[in-house]
Structure 1
Amino acid sequence: MSITIGAFIGGGIAACGAVTATHPFETVKIRVNYSKKGPSLSTIAVRYMAPASSCGVKVSVPYTVVLGFYDPMRASLAGFFFKDDKKQSLAINMFCGASLDTIMSRLYNQNGNLYKGVLDYALKTIRTEGVLAIYKGFLPHLARILPHTILTLSLAEQTNKLMRKVETLIIPDVVEANKAKAEAKANAKA
């Protein structure tokens, strides 16, 4: 298995585990943030933090699987937007996260069942409001998520570096073969 596929699978599994553990807290946070004169915090906590509660999980899992896409996207788009690695990472983070945060917030707070899921929401919204509609609230989203994203993706990059070192120790032949393929591919492009 190549390192890119391994990073994708590892990131996806880690993200799904994280959303499973943190979903009830995220649901309460969003309900509290968007309720004007709704139920109290204790009522929301009891209703949405119950272990059997799965309200919004089908929205949250695709949202957090972004972590699985980050490393492969970052590697394939290296130098495309900016030459500086940090600016490049920020551009990819903004592209991946902002629209999905808007989608998640709208799906959590829909009245009734207007949308069947993430794809249904995205298609209907883009048709009626245009592509930029999924980026509404970009600056508030950025202010809220930027510190979290920087920490999460920095940790993910460091974890991937550690995983590569461990892979080199455990299965050196496969790692060397993947490096040779990557170098041959890079030389073919040049």
Structure 2
Amino acid sequence: MTDQPPARRADAARNRQRILDAARAAFADLGPETSMAEVARRSGVGSATLYRNFATRHELLEALLVDEVDEVCAAASTVEGDTPADRLTTWLRRFFRYVTTKRPVVLGLLEHTDRTDPVFQSRGRMVAAGRPLLAAAQDAHQIADDLDLDQILDLVMAIAKITGTPQYRQPILDAALAGLRREPC
């Protein structure tokens, strides 16, 4: 006999995903003060279904953050591009979207936890996922060898924190990513 929990029913899995999708949109629209009632309303499920999936607001916020980190990490192995540098910069753009959209979720989590919480240990996973992309681009002599992925992620995060609209930040990101490329010999 196994100790594994029973598989989630298909409708329960769909409800959970609807809740996560609605919560992601609600936090993006309303910020860290988004209520569980708003998430239930937007997802079209009753509050009992919401709380059956996520007993607390903290659990919901953790699930949102972990879900997004999983997606960014998975993207590192499936990203497309003509060259290793193209694949790296495409993934860095995905990381940028993650950074710019996770802020309300992180602020909500910080209300009830501290930065030592395992949820905040996601950077190590990101670095591990992106490191092969950087290594391939550096091995192909397309990205400067004197940068490591931590430095590049810090650069992308700094741009994401610039006050202004996405249209204001986008050319800054484009210029920074272009600056990572090594000049052809």
Q: TM-score, normalised by structure 1?
A: 0.26
Could you say which structure has the greater relative contact order, defined with CA pairs below 8 angstroms and 6 or more residues apart? 1
Q: TM-score, normalised by structure 2?
A: 0.27
